[in-house]
Structure 1
Amino acid sequence: MQVVIDISEFSYLPAQAEVLGVPLPRVERLSLELPDGRTLSALRFGTESPQVTLLHGAGLNAHTWDTTALALQRPLLAIDLAGHGDSSWRGDADYTARPLAADVALALDAWTTHPQVVVGQSLGGLTAAALAASRPDLVSEIIVVDITPGIDVTAGPAALRAFYEGPTDFATREELVDKAISLGFGGTRPETERGVFLNTRVRPDGRIEWKHHFAHLAAQALAAHDAGSAAVPSVLHETGWADLAEASAPITLVRATGGFVSEADADEFLRRVPAARAITVNATHNVQETAPAELAAVVSAVL
C-alpha cells in the first residue's frame, strides 16, 4: 500500500469544516495496486481504523462525500470507484456493481480491520449491495442512497444528456463551469468550480478532460440508448435485487424528495426487501452534497 498526498485537492476542506463548525481531521489519499495492475484510490478521513466506507455514484468521485465526511467526524474511507477519480479505468468498461464491488472488497481487506457501515449513493448503492452479498464479513450495515435496482439512470434527464454529449476535452475549466451552470448543475459558481476542479485533470497537451471514464463513453452510450428501453437497466435489475436478497447486513434506503427514487419505487424496495427500512430526506439525487448533515445523522444513528 502506498500513501500519496496531493495538498491541492484538499484545499477546499478547511472552509467546508469552518462552515460546519467542526474540526478538520487528517485527510490523506491512499492508493492500492490491484492484481490486474490497475490502481484503486481512496480518501481516508481520520487516523484510526475506518468505521464507514463511502461509495459515490456514476460520474462522481470520492470528494463528493467531503462535506458529509466532515459532518460525520468519524474515521472513514471514501473510495474512487474504478473508472472514476484517481482510480484506473477498466479496459472492458464494465462499471456494473459486481466488478466494482470486487475492487472495493480488496480495498477493505487492505485498509480496514473490522466490518464497515457501507454507504453507497446511486451506482455506489448497488455496489454496496453487491459487496454485502459477496463479502458479508466486510459489511455490518448498508445504507443505499437514492437508488433501487432497475431504475434507468443511464440516459438521465435531457440536461444530463446535453452535458455529456459533445467534446470530451476543453480549453479551460471555466468552459466546463459555464456549461454546467447553463444546464442547471452544480449550485453556486464557487461550488461548481470546486466540483469541476476535483473531477477533471490537465492532459500533457494542456487540454482539460474529465477524470471519470463515463464522460468519455457517454456520448456514444447516450446516442445508442433509448431512455424507455429496459435493455440497460435489466442487468442491474437482475443482479441488484439478487444482491439485496443475499445480503445479511441491515439495509436502509434513503430516498431524496428531488431524486430518482419515487415513493412507488421505495414501496417496491420495501416489498422486495421486507427487512429494510426507508427514510426520506429533502434533497436532490446527490444527497451527500445537498443534505450532508441529514445524511450524516442517518449514518451516525447506526454506528
Structure 2
Amino acid sequence: MQVAIDISEFSYLPAQAQALGVAAPPVERLTLPLPGGRQVSALRYGAGSPEITLLHGAGLNAHTWDTTVLSLQRPVLAIDLAGHGDSSWRDDLDYTPRTLAVDVAAALDAWTDRPQLIVGQSLGGLTGASLGAARPELVSALIVVDITPGIDTSAGPAALREFYAGPTDFASRDELVDRAIAFGFGGSRPDTERGVLFNTRVRDDGRVEWKHHFAHLAAQALAAHAPGDESAPSVLSDAGWDDLTRTSAPLTLVRASDGFVSASDADDFSRRLPHARVITIAATHNAQETAPSELAALITATLPSADL
C-alpha cells in the first residue's frame, strides 16, 4: 500500500495547527539564485517581517521546524542549508559551517530587514555561530540547540551509517517509511510519513531518492569502505569554538536531556564561554520535533523585543 501523501508540501500544516489549537499561518517557499548557478531555498511563515531565522541540522530540512513555528505564532524564516531540502548541492562537497553561513547571510540580506534571532540545531547551530562571527550585524541573538564543537557524536552517526548502508533510492515512499520505522527513526507513522515526504523527491524514472546530499555521500563512502565516520562530511572542528568566541550577540546553548550534549560537554561550553547561558530541556537531539512547545517558549523569551 502506498503512503497517502498530498503532493503539496504544506498539506500537513492545517492538521498540525488544529492539534495544537492554533491557527495555521500563511507560508510560502522562497528561492534565491546564487553565483555559480546554485540556489538557496527557505520557508517564510506568517505575515510581516521575520525576526527569527531557523537553521536545521545535518540530513534535515526547513520543515523540521514546522511544529515549533506553529507554537511560536510569529513570522519566521526557516532556511534549507546547502545540500539539503530545496537548496542546491555543492560540487566541492564543502558543508562546513563557515561555508554554509555564506549562503545563510545571502538569504538574510535578501529576505529580512532587521537583525535576526538565529536558532540553529546541530549543524545549524555551528552555522549560526559562523554567521554571528562573520556578519554580526545580521544576528541579534543566537540559540545553539544540542551541539558544541567538541562533542562526541559517535552514537548518532553509527545508527545513521547503518541506515544509509542500504540503497539511496526506493520504489516508493512507503518503502522508505517502513525502513525508517524499522531503524527506530521518526515517531508515529504519520510523523514519519511527513518527514519522508519532506526529505525525498521522485526522480523522472519514478524512483524515490533522498533530497539531502549527505545520504548519497555516506552511501558512496560506505561502498568504497572508507574509514572513519562516513555518515556525513566532517563539520566539527576548533573553528567552531573560535566562531562562538567571536560571536558578540547574546548566546544560549540548549542542551537536550536525551541528546548529544552531555552534562560535561555543557560544563565545558560554560567554561569556554562564561557569558553564555545553558538551558536543559527534556528532549532528544532533534528538540524542535520532540519538544517544540518548550523550545518555542524559550525562543520567544530570548527575543530582544521580549523585554520591551
Q: TM-score, normalised by structure 1?
A: 0.93
Q: Shift in Å at residue 258 of structure 1?
A: 0.7
Counterpart residue number, 1:58: 58
Report whether the alignment pairs 1:188 with 2:194: no
SS at structure 2 position matched to 1:79? strand
Report whether the alignment pairs 1:226 with 2:223: no
Letter aligned with residue 131 of structure 2: L
Counterpart residue number, 1:40: 40
CA contact (8 A) 1:155 1:225 kept: no
Instruction: Provide the rounded CA distance (Å) in 1 between the counterparts of 2:107 and 2:155.
Output: 30
Counterpart residue number, 1:197: 197
Instruction: Provide the rounded CA distance (Å) in 1 between the counterparts of 2:160 and 2:228.
Output: 14
Following TM superposition, the consecutive aligned residue runs of length 4 or more in structure 1 with deviations greater than 2 angstroms are 150-159, 219-227
Q: Shift in Å at residue 219 of structure 1?
A: 2.3
CA contact (8 A) 1:155 1:226 kept: no
Counterpart residue number, 1:237: 237
Report whether the alignment pairs 1:9 with 2:2: no
Q: Give deviations 1:11-47, integer Å, cap 9, x for gaps.
A: 0000111111111111000000012220100000012
Letter aligned with residue 77 of structure 2: L
Q: Give deviations 1:140-177, integer Å, cap 9, x for gaps.
A: 00000000002244773533221111211111111111
**Which stretches in structure 2 are left out of the alignment for 5+ residues?**
1-5, 304-308
**Which stretches in structure 1 are left out of the alignment for 5+ residues?**
1-5
SS at structure 2 position matched to 1:109? helix
Counterpart residue number, 1:3: none
Instruction: Provide the rounded CA distance (Å) in 2 between the counterparts of 1:109 and 1:177.
Output: 37
Q: Shift in Å at residue 242 of structure 1?
A: 0.3
Q: Give deviations 1:242-271, integer Å, cap 9, x for gaps.
A: 000100001000000110000000000111
Instruction: Provide the rounded CA distance (Å) in 1 between the counterparts of 2:95 and 2:260.
Output: 19
Instruction: Provide the rounded CA distance (Å) in 1 between the counterparts of 2:155 and 2:239.
Output: 19
Instruction: Provide the rounded CA distance (Å) in 2 between the counterparts of 1:220 and 1:149.
Output: 26
Number of residue-to-residue matches in the alignment: 294
Letter aligned with residue 48 of structure 1: G
Q: Give deviations 1:103-155, integer Å, cap 9, x for gaps.
A: 00000000000000000000000000000000000000000000000224477
Q: TM-score, normalised by structure 2?
A: 0.92
Counterpart residue number, 2:102: 102
SS at structure 2 position matched to 1:167? coil
Instruction: Provide the rounded CA distance (Å) in 1 between the counterparts of 2:201 and 2:293.
Output: 29
Q: Shift in Å at residue 218 of structure 1?
A: 1.0
Instruction: Provide the rounded CA distance (Å) in 2 between the counterparts of 1:140 and 1:269.
Output: 20
Q: RMSD over aligned Cα, in angstroms? A: 1.7
CA contact (8 A) 1:54 1:77 kept: yes
Q: Give deviations 1:24-74, integer Å, cap 9, x for gaps.
A: 111000000012220100000012111100000000000000000110011
Counterpart residue number, 1:277: 277
1:7–1:44 distance in 2 versus 1, CA, 3 Å: farther
Counterpart residue number, 1:287: 287
CA contact (8 A) 1:71 1:292 kept: yes
Instruction: Provide the rounded CA distance (Å) in 2 between the counterparts of 1:18 and 1:254.
Output: 28
Instruction: Provide the rounded CA distance (Å) in 1 between the counterparts of 2:148 and 2:184.
Output: 25
Counterpart residue number, 2:163: 163
